[in-house]
Amino acid sequence: MAAGLLLIFLPIAAPAGSEEIERLTFAQLVDSIRADSAVTETIKSYNGKQVAIQGFIVPAGAPDLSFFLLSRVSALGNYCCEAPVGQDETVYVFTTKEVNITYDPLRVFRIIGVFEAGMRTDATYGPSLFRMHDARVEEAFGAKIFKTEEFRASGSKP
Amino acid sequence: MTIFTVALKYLRGRLVASTLTAVSIALGVSLVVASVVLGRGIRDGFIAGATDYNLVVGAKGSPTQLVLGVIFRMDLATPNIEYTTYRDLQQDPRVETAVPIGVGDAFRGFRYVATNKAYFAAFPWRHKTFALAAGKFFTDDPPSKPAYEAVLGAEAARSTGLQIGDRFYEGEEMAEYPLTVVGILRPTHSADDRAIFFSLPSYWGMNEVARGMAVKPLTAVLIRPKRMSDLPSLNRELNVATDTQAVLPSAVLLTIFNMMAVAENVLKMILAIVGLIVLLYVLVAMYSATMERRREIATMRALGARRATVFGIILAESAGLATVGGVAGLLAGHAIAYLAGLVLGQSGLVTNPLRFNLFEPAVLVSVILLGTLAGLLPAVLAYRTEVAENLAPLS
């Protein structure tokens, strides 16, 4: 949950050299959803632009990670307190180049790719609200998961 | 005579030593190529053999065992779950397709896989296609009247020699329940080529314990959700339940890749040391050869050969040995990977050891450069050979 809160409320400065790439947060994605799975024009204005989104990788497709889900919360932490999120906080990510990472379900990754918002159905992966194409994956240095003592020190209740 | 023809003549003149040097280079290169090709092949084999389904549901236990057992049939089957788990998932509004799987015994090492027709269905989202080379798929028989019809994977049919209409069983206790071959699949280049498929009622009918069970057993259920974004919630619910676990097969394979990467890094260090040893061996061999023929070099110099020409001959010899060794090493590396691939194929993992990798030209160029570099010191020695000193009478 802590990591989820971190992802929503703490926009992290982009690393040097990638200042041009705008960062989108899951909070912005959730806020953009309207009735009947429509999305706001504001979020649509990012369509076709390269953006960066940070989150947890859910390897829902092939193990070469040519497709995966990017989620606000880790999908594979079965004993954590926060329930998995749905379509509103999930980005469908499509990569074209080989993804060479050390996969860790509990690590936050930074995905940079061409953004697309709006309901669309893919023949292979079904319907989705948010997508990223031609994406590349980077480790999100600085987006650490709170340790318990840090969480308590911050005054929050788990 | 050019530098290259003189170098070739020298190499031929000490054929045994030259061959041994080239063989040692070839061995070093083949180790590097075989390990990289095989490592890549194993990874690609897992990726190609992965299921199109997004979630595997089975009994509590090791996620790796569940995926390797059910998808790749490389491990023992996990304990059973109840058939009602499949029924519940089939009725779950988030689930598009659920396929029941029962993994049982084997015939001559080819695993029995009990399922229904959905396993072979050509859904629009599926990459994998199943086609019959002969016969038909088994019938969806009722539990009360199992048909004991079997469909063989391509490799299972080829290795066992079973034909349509043949009846077979393994173990005396199975003599009462022989399976009849009704179909043979075309190759899928996955673990399914080594499987023997039949219906779930036949699976239950063959097992004495399952025959008496009110709720029939299953090994696993393969799930395709309607929305991919529902996978995390399905995964969580089935894992929080006390009797099932749910696994994303790609997550398990990526964890295996992570472990392989650690082993590959250790292997890289060992190979770097092997490369260094081979380099030193070439250096020593070329140095000895140069020392042995200082008198010949002095004669060449006395007959008008320039220092640069002598220098070039030694370097050309080293480059020649490195080229021959490098090319032979590339070929031998693929041959080793091919043999290892045959062994892996028997355990259910299909690799392509003949596939050319982009790193191979880089390896060859590096070997030639390093081999030439190893000849640099002997070449300098030859360059500095004094005519007067080395043409003195031997006695």
Tell me if A90 and B257 make a contact (CB, 8 A cut-off): no
How sure is the predictor about A8, in pLDDT bands with cuts at 50, 70 and 90? very low
Q: Which domains does chain A carry? A: 2-153 (2.40.50.140)
CA dihedral A51, A55, A59, A61 (to 10 degrees): -30
Spell out the domain ranges in chain B. Answer: 3-47+257-390, 55-247
Query: 């200082």: which residue's tokens?
Result: B294
Contact: B251, A85; criterion CB under 8 Å: no
Question: What pLDDT is attached to residue A145?
Answer: 45
- Residues A9-19: what's their mean pLDDT? 46
State what percent of residues in chain A have pLDDT above 70.
Answer: 72
Q: How confident is the model at residue B394 (pLDDT cuts 50, 70, 90)?
A: low
A-chain residues within 8 Å CB-CB of B124?
123-124
Sort out which chain A residues have CB atoms less than 8 A from B54's CB and list them: 60-61
**Residue B388 exposed, middle or buried by CB count within 10 Å (0-12, 13-18, 19+):** exposed
Percentage of chain B surpassing pLDDT 90? 46
Q: Which of B326, B330, B334 is nearest to B355 (CA)?
A: B334
Contact A63 B253 (CB under 8 A): yes
Beta strands in B131-171 (DSSP E): 132-135, 149-152, 167-168
Q: Is B2 exposed, middle or buried, given 0-12, 13-18 or 19+ CB atoms closer than 10 A?
A: exposed
Q: Which residue has the tokens 């498929």?
A: B197
- Among the ranges given (A61-70, B79-88, B246-255, B354-363), the one the predictor scored with the smallest mean pLDDT: B354-363
- Per-residue pLDDT tens over the stretch B275-322: 889 888 888 888 888 888 788 888 888 888 888 888 888 888 888 999
Of A129-133, B213-217, B343-347, the least confident: B343-347
Residue B380 pLDDT grade (very low, low, confident, very high; cuts 50, 70, 90): confident
Spatial CA neighbour of A139 closest among A27, A52, A38: A52
Q: Tell me the mean pLDDT in the region B178-183.
A: 95
Average pLDDT, chain A: 79
Closest to B379 (Cα-Cα) out of B279, B311, B317, B322: B311
Dihedral of the CA atoms B306, B308, B314, B318 (nearest 10)? -160
Instruction: From B348, B342, B343, select the one nearest B50 (Cα to Cα).
Output: B348
Specify the pLDDT at position B373. Answer: 87
Average pLDDT, stretch A81-88?
74
**Cα–Cα distance measured from residue B52 to residue B225, given in angstroms and rounded to the nearest whole number:** 11
Question: Could B228 and A125 be called an inter-chain contact, meaning their C-beta atoms sit closer than 8 Å?
Answer: yes
Query: What number of helices (H) and strands (E) belong to chain B?
Result: 14, 12
Residues of A in contact with B247 (CB under 8 A): none
Cβ atoms of residues B23 and B329 within 8 Å: no
pLDDT at A7 over 50: no
* Distance separating alpha carbons of residues A145 and A10, to the nearest angstrom: 12
The pLDDT of residue B11 is: 82
